[in-house]
Structure formats: C-alpha cells, structure tokens
Amino acid sequence: MGEPGIQSKQCTEKYYRMSEYALEDLSSMMSTNVESPYHLCQLSYPLLTASGNGSIVFVASIAGIKALTRLSAYAATKSAVIQISKNLACEWAKDGIRRNTVTPWAVNTGVKVENDDHSDDFRQLIGLIPIRRIAEPNEISSLVTFLCLPAASYINGQVVSVDGGFTVSSF
C-alpha cells in the first residue's frame, strides 16, 4: 500500500532512495531494529542488575555511523540503536551493566547477490574495503563474545566497527 504511487517493499530490501520507501517500510524497520532491542533491554534490566555484572551488546551497522546512498531509513534505525546504547551505557553503569555496540559492514551470511538488482553496487562497495573481502560471521561474534567477558569489564559505551577498514579508508 503506502502512499499513492509507492509500493510497500520487504523490510529486508533496504537499498532504496528515501522517496521510494512507503511509511509501512519505515515503521517495520523501526519496530524490528529499534523497538525490539529497546524493549528487550527494559525486560532484561532487573536480571542484569541482580547479576551485578551485566553486559549488553547491540549489533548495529556501519550504516548507522557513515552516510551511504540508498540506506536512509535503515541507517536511521541503526543510528537510533547506537544512541540508545550510548545513553544506556551512562544510565545503567551505576547498576553494574555495561553497554557496547558492534557495527559490522558487509558480512557473509550465505545470501548470494550475483542476481540481485543491487549486485553491481555491492561489488563496488566491497572494492572500497582495504582488506578487500567481506567479514565472516565468527569475526563479528568473537568481538561480541569478548565484550561480554570479564576481560572487557572496563569497556562501556563504545561503538566498535568490524569493517575491514572501511570507515577509516579515504576511498
């Protein structure tokens, strides 16, 4: 449905110009990417406080910290997650709960992009990664695991990019 002339797209298909998104698309992404982790934090707060040594790690996206074309709605949701994480890092530290965010770039999820309408754009972006490849899932999960360990007990409120150098490269 959406606005006149705008078809609603799947939430996972996020590479569109802002003028092409239907309101339902933004609402769906906000619900999934912002409201869900927000409410999960609210629900877990009593348990994490009781533990005396809680840790929450959000997984956002490079899109939440770096402007990229055709990702406006998606980027807005990931930026919101990053800001919520920073605020909770300050608010909940006194309760023994640390908050950090991991921001991956492209990750090998097994989804093939060769026949995708955006495969050329994707290949160009991968070419901008200094390491010249996408991340493997274990390269993200190992950082998330570390941030939850006692060895990371003084790390709080950080946004850590796992992007092969993408955000620091000058293209």
121: nearest Cα among 139, 103, 106: 106
Residue 15: per-residue pLDDT: 66
Residue type, 63: A
Domains in the chain: ranges and CATH: 18-164 (3.40.50.720)
Residue 166: per-residue pLDDT: 93
Paired strand residues for 162: 104
Name the pTM for this structure.
0.85
CB neighbours of 145 closer than 8 A, spacing ≥ 6?
none
Per the residue annotation, which of 15, 21, 38, 74 is the catalytic one? 74
Q: Computed from CA positions of residues 88, 90, 95, 96, in that sequence, does the dihedral angle turn out positive or negative?
A: positive
Residue 34: per-residue pLDDT: 97
Pairing state of beta strands 54-59 and 159-162? unpaired
Residue 11: per-residue pLDDT: 44
Distance set, CA 3 to CA 19, 24, 42, 48, 72 (Å)? 10, 9, 34, 43, 18
45 included as an active-site residue:
no
Residue 1: per-residue pLDDT: 36
Residue 118: per-residue pLDDT: 61
User: Which mean pLDDT values do the consecutive 10-residue runs of the chain (171 residues) have?
Assistant: 38 65 90 96 97 96 90 93 98 98 91 63 82 94 98 98 91 60
